[in-house]
Amino acid sequence: MSTKLKNVVLIQGVFRPDVFPLLKKLKKDVVVLEGRPSLQAARENCSRLQKMGLMPTLMADNMAGYLFSKGIVKEVWIASQTIDKEGAMCEIGALIIAVLAKKHHIPVFTHCAGKKIKPLSNPKAIQKFNGQSVITGKVKAFVPLLEWVPAKYISKGGTS
């Protein structure tokens, strides 16, 4: 059960398949953030972890802070689209995790997925969840899919 979580690697974004054997070697609990609006991170990461024989724990994107406040996050892994010495272009939500990690003195590692992601989604994307309607009608929404994480939030040598 979830309350048994003690040493957590928190992963955010959709990772390349070759990253998961590295996660397994850590022998830690892996917590996956769901990755609104598409939920692709939840689906793909959980599926790959299951194939590695690992039991993932899923949390909503707004729940990462709770894990940090409990002091159980030991590492953060973030999937990036591109990375350079100035920082990394990551899937939306990465900046939250990176700032939380900095505040709690937790290392942040980025893994370049190299995948092309468009910067913004259609506002309608957050009117649905898992294909089902959350709210109907015309909604004014801002749905960024990418964000910049400055290098100061990323640990040295923390890329692959």
Partner 1 sequence: MKESPLFWPAYLNSKVLFVLDETLVPQYLRYVKVKNVDDAVKVIRDMKTRAFGQFLVVLSTFLLELERHPQLNGEELQEKIGNIAHALNRSRPTFPFAEVTGGIVQWADQALKAGQDVRVVVLKKVHGYLQGIRYRRLERVAKIAATIKDGDSVLTHCNVSGELAMAAAMCQSQKKDVQFYCTETRPYFQGSKLTYWELRQMGADVTLVADNAIGTLMADRMVNKVIVGSDRNCANGDFANKIGTYQIAVLAKEFKISMYVLTQPSKRIASGADIPVEIRNEKELLEFNGKRFVAGKVHGLYPGFDVVPHSYVKKEIALNVH
Can residue 118 be called a binding residue for partner 1 (CB under 8 A)?
no
Least distance to partner 1, CB of residue 56, Å: 5
Per-residue contact flags (x/-) with partner 1 for residues 31 to 50, judged by CB under 8 A: x-xxxxx-x--xx--xx--x
71 secondary structure, DSSP code: T
- Whole-number Cα distances in Å, 153 to 95, 144, 149: 8, 20, 7
Among 6, 7, 115, 148, binds partner 1 (CB under 8 A): 148
11 C-beta neighbours (distance < 10 Å), count: 26
Cis status of the peptide bond prior to 37, with omega within 30 of 0: yes
Give 63's DSSP letter: G
CB of 85 to partner 1, least distance (A): 19
Q: Measured from the CB of residue 52, what is the shortest distance to partner 1 in angstroms? A: 12
105 binds partner 1 (CB under 8 A): no
Could you say which of 16, 59, 74, 159 contacts partner 1 (CB under 8 A)?
Answer: 59
Q: How far apart are CA 127 and CA 131, in angstroms?
A: 9
Where in 7-26 is the site for partner 1 (CB under 8 A)? Answer: none
Question: Which of 119, 130, 115, 112 is CA-nearest to residue 37?
Answer: 130
**Residue numbers 71-100 binding partner 1 by CB under 8 A:** 92-96, 99-100
How far apart CA 47 and CA 53 sit, in angstroms, is: 10
Cβ-in-10-Å burial (0-12, 13-18, 19+) of 41 comes to buried
Applying CB under 8 A, which of residues 26, 74, 107, 126 lies at the interface with partner 1? 126
Footprint of partner 1 (CB under 8 A) = 1-3, 5, 31, 33-37, 39, 42-43, 46-47, 50, 55-66, 68-69, 92-96, 99-100, 102-103, 123, 126-127, 129-130, 132, 134-136, 139-144, 147-148
